[in-house]
Amino acid sequence: MVAKGFEKIQDKWGWIFISFATIFLALFIFYPLVYSLYLSTFSTKGIIKNFVGLGNYKRLLQDNYFILSIKNIFVILVIQVPIMLFLALIFAFLLNDPKLKLKGVYRTALFLPAVTSLVAYSVVFKMMFSTEGLVNNILINLHIIKEPIRWLLDPFWSKVTLIIAMTWRWTGYNMMLYLAGLQNISQEVYEAAEIDGAGKTAQFFRITIPLLRPIILFTTILSTIGTLQLFDEPMMLAAGVTTGSSVGPGNSLLTPSVYIYNVSFKYVPNFGYASAISYMIVIIAVILSIIQFRVAGEER
Amino acid sequence: MNRKLTYAFIYVFLTISAFVSVFPFYWMIVGSTNKSVDVNKGKLTFGNQFLENFYKLSENFDLGQVIWNSIQVSLCVVVFSLIVSSMAGYGFEMFKSRGRDFTYATVLLTMMIPFAALMVPVFRLMTFLNLIDSLWGVILPMIPSVFLIFFFRQNFQQYPKEIIMAARVDGASEPRIFFSIIMPSMKATYAAAAIYAFLTSWNAYLQPLVIIQSQKNRTMALFIANLASGYQPDFGLVMMAVVIATLPTLILFFALQRYFVQGVLGSVKQ
């Protein structure tokens, strides 16, 4: 009897402790999510609201801007995310070596970009990559290129700039997560491999990558979601570069988040349509995460 | 490959990478001391425009107000978010029940939802609450952090349960156990969480962009974005603003780096 009473009180305290967070989450995540689904069945122009059912979703599939924005982030997903995660893995692997000196300095230096604000670093990169700017100067002085590259004025190069910028900002962050994961792998495993004559490359591919698989999956999902929400960087890199409503040259930097923002706040606001786009993004995020879980699970 | 050669190669690779990582910071500081033209041309050496840029920035814009707005937002988010998230992490970890495990799973799932997807309803909600163009409208949605709840729960897993049991036997109430025994003894965890919450709120852009409308309520990120996207911006001023916005995060990071690394390591360790 006494034990039961204790459990009941414990249960009450459990709910009390989580209540504040739950209320906030309900108000600012669950409610918006449900409301957004409801709103996505309407076409709204200012205060005029017409029920259109699945009309917004049908319109989406034929909306070239929406399709382009999806294509744009898939390029990032397929190119930037693997490069960044691979680099982060290499850094973590190298810095995990107990024989390496200056570990702390390297770790701090590589992690430093992760404390900058997305707006601030994008602005700095925009200036470094201006046509008459720093990066072109360096490349010309090193005789790597003859003519300045029009980094931000060309649809192809603007994506390259975005990829370079994002890799700079996020590699150290992911490295930190891998380093944390590597703490759980005993150094003896590496010592044994070394005695068996395994080189650094073999150790990296045969030990580090397989043992870090759960964290690699975690970071892949985080990066996927991060890419799907990409907003600050394209907004800053594109600002003032082109005239009109194009986000980057030829809309090369248009992402779904930027598009949602423009549909909701920049053009004649259509909250209903914006909500439909939002839902597509949520659905894509969930599908990609499930695929990644499956792939990681199968390889085991 | 020869072992020594391998290490030489590793050091060269790491040094170049570290240089690339740190270089934009150097260039940003250099930029804040130069004229707009020089920044645009990619000048690499310090100039003598530092004070000039600072005066121009603080005279032409309400710089103090902008910084104060950002400080208010960040402080509130850090304090409330830490209390709310650590309580939730503690609740989920220490009082296990099926209902709460289910709630936790649901909470974790919401990590997958991008803010852009919530932008419109949050804007409508804030309109309804009359919090458009108010700092509270920026602060409130940033308080619930799924990541921090997860982070705190992971860290509480390592807390010795015997201490809590002993305190219960001594007749301490549950809130007392949490606030006066657990909280003070988890400084590293709280410090790491504070850095995380500070960085997210100080650097937030999209959320204030949607909520804030007037000049006087702008935060640092909005200010920089505005300054940099105008017609023919003064790049020296932009760099100065970037330096001012980045400095606090750098100081905080270096001051609390030990805790931060510990905190991150603690949360991934299982």
For chain A, domain boundaries: 2-39, 62-298
Residues of B in contact with A112 (CB under 8 A): 21-22, 25, 250, 253
Most confident of A94-103, B11-20, B33-42: B11-20
Q: What are the beta bridge partners of residue A45?
A: A48
Interface of A with B in 112-141 (CB under 8 A): 112-113, 115-121, 123-128, 130, 132-138
Instruction: Check if A73 contacts B (Cβ < 8 Å).
Output: no
Q: What is the pLDDT of residues B131-158, one digit of tens each?
A: 999 999 999 999 988 889 988 988 888 8
Q: Which residue of A has its CA nearest to B45?
A: A134
- Taken in order B209, B214, B217, B218, the sign of the CA dihedral is positive
* Mean pLDDT value of segment B30-45: 89
pLDDT at residue A178, rounded to an integer: 92
What architecture does CATH give domain A62-298?
Orthogonal Bundle (1.10)
Measured in angstroms, the CA of A1 and the nearest CA of chain B are apart by: 18
Indicate whether B25 belongs to any domain. no
Residues of A in contact with B235 (CB under 8 A): 127
Q: Is the pLDDT of residue A170 over 90?
A: yes
ipTM of the complex: 0.89
Indicate whether B144 belongs to any domain. yes
Inspect the interface and report whether the beta carbons of A261 and B206 lie closer than 8 Å.
yes
| Residues B268 and B50 sit within 8 Å (Cβ to Cβ) | no
Residues of A in contact with B67 (CB under 8 A): none
Rounded to the nearest 10 degrees, the angle between the axes of helix B98-109 and helix B146-156 is 130
> From residue B3, how far is each of A87, A92, A197, A200, B10 by CA, in Å?
22, 19, 12, 10, 11
Indicate whether B20 belongs to any domain. no
pLDDT at residue B269, rounded to an integer: 43
Residues of A in contact with B115 (CB under 8 A): 229
Inspect the interface and report whether the beta carbons of A117 and B10 lie closer than 8 Å.
no
pLDDT at residue B108, rounded to an integer: 82
Residues of B in contact with A18 (CB under 8 A): 87-88, 91-92, 100, 103
Indicate whether B42 belongs to any domain. no
Whole-angstrom Cα distance, residue A142 to residue B2?
30
With pLDDT > 90 as the criterion, what percentage of chain A qualifies?
Answer: 46
Cα A206 to chain centroid distance, Å, stands at 27
Query: Domain range spanning residue B201?
Result: 60-268
Q: Which residue of B has its CA nearest to A172?
A: B21
Residues of A in contact with B25 (CB under 8 A): 112
Q: Which residue of B has its CA nearest to A18?
A: B88
Which of A193-197, B121-125, B212-216, B233-237 has the weakest average pLDDT?
A193-197
pLDDT at residue A14, rounded to an integer: 86
Q: Which residue of B has its CA nearest to A91?
A: B14
Q: Is the pLDDT of residue B259 over 90?
A: no
pLDDT at residue B253, rounded to an integer: 86
Interface of A with B in 31-70 (CB under 8 A): 31-33, 35-36, 39
| Residues A242 and A248 sit within 8 Å (Cβ to Cβ) | yes
The tokens for B99 are: 């209902």
pLDDT at residue B265, rounded to an integer: 55
The tokens for B69 are: 């707005």
With pLDDT > 70 as the criterion, what percentage of chain B qualifies?
Answer: 96
Q: Is the pLDDT of residue B248 over 70?
A: yes
The tokens for B221 are: 């990120």
pLDDT at residue A1, rounded to an integer: 45
Interface of A with B in 176-235 (CB under 8 A): 176-177, 179-181, 183-184, 199-200, 215, 221, 225, 228-229, 231-232, 235
Inspect the interface and report whether the beta carbons of A176 and B203 lie closer than 8 Å.
no
Inspect the interface and report whether the beta carbons of B28 and A124 lie closer than 8 Å.
yes
Q: What is the pLDDT of residues A25-72, one digit of tens each?
A: 999 988 998 998 898 998 877 677 888 888 899 999 999 999 999 999
Judged by DSSP in three states, B97 sits in coil
Query: Which residue among A119, A229, A271 places its CB closest to the CB of B221?
Result: A119
pLDDT at residue B6, rounded to an integer: 87
Inspect the interface and report whether the beta carbons of B42 and A135 lie closer than 8 Å.
yes
Q: What is the pLDDT of residues A180-221, one digit of tens each?
A: 888 878 888 888 888 888 888 888 998 889 888 888 988 898
pLDDT at residue A269, rounded to an integer: 82
Indicate whether B169 belongs to any domain. yes
Residues of B in contact with A31 (CB under 8 A): 121, 125
Indicate whether B163 belongs to any domain. yes
Backbone dihedral angles phi then psi of residue A261, each to the nearest 5 degrees: -60, -45
With pLDDT > 90 as the criterion, what percentage of chain B qualifies?
Answer: 49
Q: Is the pLDDT of residue A129 over 90?
A: yes
A-B contacts (CB, under 8 Å):
276
Query: Which residue among A18, A172, A282 places its CB closest to the CB of B21?
Result: A172
Most confident of A35-49, B32-46, B98-112: B32-46
pLDDT-based confidence at residue A164 (cuts at 50, 70, 90): very high
Indicate whether B232 belongs to any domain. yes
Inspect the interface and report whether the beta carbons of B27 and A125 lie closer than 8 Å.
no
Residue A13 corresponds to which amino acid? W
Average pLDDT, chain A: 88
For residue A31, the surrounding DSSP H or E stretch is: helix A31-39
Q: What is the pLDDT of residues A253-284, one digit of tens each?
A: 999 999 999 998 887 788 889 999 988 888 88
pLDDT-based confidence at residue A140 (cuts at 50, 70, 90): very high
Place of tokens 């100067």: A137
Indicate whether B17 belongs to any domain. no
Q: Is the pLDDT of residue B110 over 90?
A: no
| Residues A29 and B118 sit within 8 Å (Cβ to Cβ) | yes
Q: What is the CATH number of the domain that holds B188?
A: 1.10.3720.10
The tokens for A85 are: 């995660």
pLDDT at residue A49, rounded to an integer: 81
Measured in angstroms, the CA of B211 and the nearest CA of chain A are apart by: 11
Measured in angstroms, the CA of A168 and the nearest CA of chain B are apart by: 7
Angle at B258 between CA A118 and CA A182, to 5 degrees: 85
pLDDT at residue B270, rounded to an integer: 37
Interface with chain A: mutation pick from B2, B21, B45, B253, highest number of A CBs within 10 Å: B21
Q: What is the pLDDT of residues B77-101, one digit of tens each?
A: 999 999 999 999 999 988 878 888 8
Residues of B in contact with A11 (CB under 8 A): 95, 97
Measured in angstroms, the CA of B57 and the nearest CA of chain A are apart by: 16
For residue A51, the surrounding DSSP H or E stretch is: strand A48-51
pLDDT at residue B262, rounded to an integer: 63
Inspect the interface and report whether the beta carbons of A21 and B149 lie closer than 8 Å.
yes
Q: Is the pLDDT of residue B3 over 70?
A: yes
pLDDT-based confidence at residue B221 (cuts at 50, 70, 90): very high
pLDDT-based confidence at residue A126 (cuts at 50, 70, 90): very high
Of A266, A86, A87, A239, give the one whose Cα is nearest residue B16. Answer: A87
* Mean pLDDT value of segment B255-262: 76
